[in-house]
Amino acid sequence: MMMNCGAMNATTPSSASWSASHGSKIPMLLPRAICSTHRMCCGSGVHVDACVSTNVSRNAKDSMIWSGTSPSLYSKQPINKFLLPLRASVASTSQDVTIASLIGREKIGVLLLNLGGPETLEDVQPFLFNLFADPDIIRLPRLFRFLQKPLAQFISVTRAPKSKEGYASIGGGSPLRHITDAQAEELRKSLWEKQVPARVYVGMRYWHPFTEEAIQQIKRDRITKLVVLPLYPQFSISTSGSSLRLLERIFREDEYLVSMQHTVIPSWYQREGYIKALANLIGKELETFDHPEQVVICFSAHGVPLAYVEEAGDPYKAEMEECIDLIMEELEKRKIMNAYTLAYQSRVGPVEWLKPYTDETIIELGKRGVKCLLAVPISFVSEHIETLEEIDVEYKELALKSGIEKWGRVPALGCEPTFISDLADAVIESLPYVGAMAVSNIEARQSLVPLGSVGGLLAVYDSRRRELQSPVMVWEWGWTRSAETWNGRAAMLAVLVLLVLEVTTGQGFLHQWGILLFFH
Ligand SMILES: C=CC1=C(C)c2cc3[nH]c(cc4nc(cc5[nH]c(cc1n2)c(C)c5CCC(=O)O)C(CCC(=O)O)=C4C)c(C)c3C=C
Ligand SMILES: [Fe+2]
């Protein structure tokens, strides 16, 4: 049946948020970021001057990046900017460094970092415990750090029933491990095809195979050069940041690891292969509509609490917006000029997260007369519960209820060959950096990420973390900065103790009042 997407009888936007340069932005999308589009990869030629600029001290480099903490400053200074010259300059032949000379007799390892997911329904609660026990997800004031684990236990137990429902509906567990393993294998093959004989490891943050397990294997394999590659295209304190903080801790405590050369690719949302691979998938999915040009593209990114961006300087939002700009520019080159919008999904609890929220956006688009919508999950490269359940089931249903007649969804990248090949290029391009700044053990101990400067990011975050609202404390007990009085703390502590007792004994006032399951 021919599905007519219909012209959008959207009301005229009140602000100048429509983009004239290419596909029109649906109002709600933030103004187009000033983006240096030309941060695209030009191949794997390596420019010696660009990559081995080790005579600039790490601190000097960090301060170039971190001279300010505002997100807008950040958007102009991405943390991996020192990797960018490698991509931006196609090296002259005389300055090329051959891959072989970089590798020599080294044993190269690539460590893929990811979040992890429960493989069975029994895994759900302990997985949630690990997640909520992470101080990068729930931050307690220093005085109450000892409550981190009891609180994580409480939240994980209360949230588990709802999460289990979600995982049950997608087959009884997360597909994340399986997909990440497949990506690791494809990356390994691609590296070998490009003459880089590397081993690829998977280290998950909250479930098996844990990062610690991967590190043990790396040590057993006597890897001498390690490239750390978080599988999150955009950097967030809550994802890549958390994993890198953990790695930093592991490295600091281990003699072998401290002396092993390593580097980190903190984010890679601007890489040509990634952008092109996503544009390919979007173009292909648009073709399934009868009137592709009338489809509104709705990029849906995983959200983070607003305070992460506004108070802790998380670059996530700036990187996300720049990423969308790059994708739309790529589509424009292919004469695809659709209207589009960016929204954020998967918020947890009542604190404010990045807006607009995907559910509200879908309703709004329906009200504006949009008939055809293409959802594009953007912050993650594998299918997982938030694509398979939240987007495919919840948002689809909401869209159809809101008046949208034709719904489509772009698959996650998974093992898409252009994408994997580009990840392999990213690894190869980072090789000249491996260990370049770690001139001594002492220096290596100070920062896990000599050139990627994630240490700088974490330091900035750490310096402000006392101010950062913890999403969970705010959701449940109203722990705001204004509530930071001793009396308030004492009262909250008492409530916490009661809650912990309630969870551990299964009895108490919340059970009696039937309000225990307030985590959705
Ligand atoms: C870029 C991706 C992600 C960001 C940013 C992120 C932040 C973030 N997440 C939570 C809470 C939960 N996340 C959960 C699962 C989960 N989250 C991501 C990705 C990002 N999270 C993934 C890939 C997964 C795993 C999905 C799977 O298939 O297993 C969960 C558990 C699921 C559920 O109960 O909904 C929670 C809870 C917070 C609080 C946060 C930022 C502070
Ligand atoms: Fe999450």
493 phi and psi, to 5 degrees? -60, -45
Task: Give yes or no for residue 62 having a pLDDT over 80.
Answer: no
Give the helix ranges, DSSP H, for 451-508.
Answer: 454-464, 471-477, 486-505
pLDDT in tens, 355-372: 999 999 999 999 999 999
Say which residues have a Cβ less than 8 Å from residue 345's Cβ, sequence separation at least 6: 300, 301, 302, 303, 357, 358, 359, 386, 390, 391, 395
- Average pLDDT (186-210) is 97
- What distance in angstroms lies between residue 89's CA and the mean position of ligand 1's atoms? 36
Least confident among 157-166, 205-214, 262-271 = 262-271
Give the pLDDT of residue 200: 98
Three-state helix/strand/coil letters over 211-276: HHHHHHHHHHCCCCEEEEEECCCCCCHHHHHHHHHHHHHHHHCCHHHHHCEEEECCCCCCCHHHHH
**Which protein residues touch ligand 1 with a CB less than 6 Å away?**
115, 117, 131, 137, 159, 163, 174, 176, 232, 236, 238-239, 302, 304-305, 348, 379-380, 384-386, 471
Say which residues have a Cβ less than 8 Å from residue 482's Cβ, sequence separation at least 6: none
- Average pLDDT (62-66) is 21
Which ligand has the nearest atom to the CA of 348?
1
Residue 135 DSSP one-character state: T
Higher-pLDDT residue of 22 and 251 is 251
Beta bridge partners of 172: none
Task: Give yes or no for residue 101 having a pLDDT over 60.
Answer: yes
One-letter amino acid at 184 equals A
Higher-pLDDT residue of 508 and 398 is 398
Locate the ligand 1 atom nearest the alpha carbon of residue 176 and give its number.
Answer: 28
Task: Give yes or no for residue 503 having a pLDDT over 90.
Answer: no
One-letter amino acid at 389 equals E
Q: Which of 227, 228, 219, 231 shows the shortest CA–CA distance to 196?
A: 227
Q: Which residues of 147-184 are buried (b: 16+ CB within 10 A; e: fewer)?
A: bbebbbbbbbbbbbeebbebbeebeebbbbbebbeebb
- What distance in angstroms lies between residue 100's CA and the mean position of ligand 1's atoms? 40
Place of tokens 């994580």: 152
Q: Whose CA is nearest to atom 35 of ligand 1?
A: 163
Which residue from 138, 140, 231, 346 has its CB within 8 A of the most atoms of ligand 1, so it is best to mutate? 346
Beta bridge partners of 357: 344
Percent of the chain whose pLDDT exceeds 90: 54
pLDDT in tens, 209-233: 999 999 999 999 999 999 999 999 9
pLDDT in tens, 421-460: 999 999 998 888 776 644 344 443 333 333 343 455 566 5
pLDDT in tens, 296-334: 999 999 999 999 999 888 999 999 999 999 999 999 999
